Structure 1
């Protein structure tokens, strides 16, 4: 977020408040916890809270508007991160499933190839296969 310029502010209280706002938005507080609320802004600026709520309402409103925009960006970023993590998980699951399908395909291709070779050996009548006779099956005897 861009810093708020001092633009010729002569009032030391306003200068302190603007400098405190810039530090809070930059994430480098000196006196406060760094939370983006009016109470922490007053602590960071080293002024009484009533200066913000009664004397410098324009700065308070500007701070609250920027804090709300910053929070909205953070929420959007968190939502995007969650969606990204979910997509990564789905991608990993799909890769695992694709590997399983490829393994099955290889197994089935091998089985089909063997069956076609066996069929070809039984159905072809070449010089070598003529010598092979298929023996009739014995009827199964009951005990």
Structure 2
């Protein structure tokens, strides 16, 4: 069911053509969502043309959307792409959080080693050295 115009109104013709494309799931300019705003974008007209000037086409579009009762393939594809991108974004955020935690651990280890190095290098000048505690897994350098 199409609403072909018998007039020569280019706005009306572009709205009807956009309506047919959206309902067929082949949008050219819009996201493919079945809404009045997206219909206006698809038609390349201001939204007020649908809400104030061509109310019959707005109502026809809404009725056809309700009768179709499904999401166009083009829009559902964009939704699935969005879901995939969101999943990848969440994975990247978790990866970054893991890297930041690892960076904190490395920074603490480097700080500890630099303090220990400073304390050990002070031994040459007769300074008293207090060894820093090491974890049991760390190799003992005094056993060599």
TM-score (norm 2): 0.46
TM, length-normalised to structure 1: 0.46
**RCO higher in structure (CA 8 A, sep ≥6):** 2
Larger radius of gyration: 1
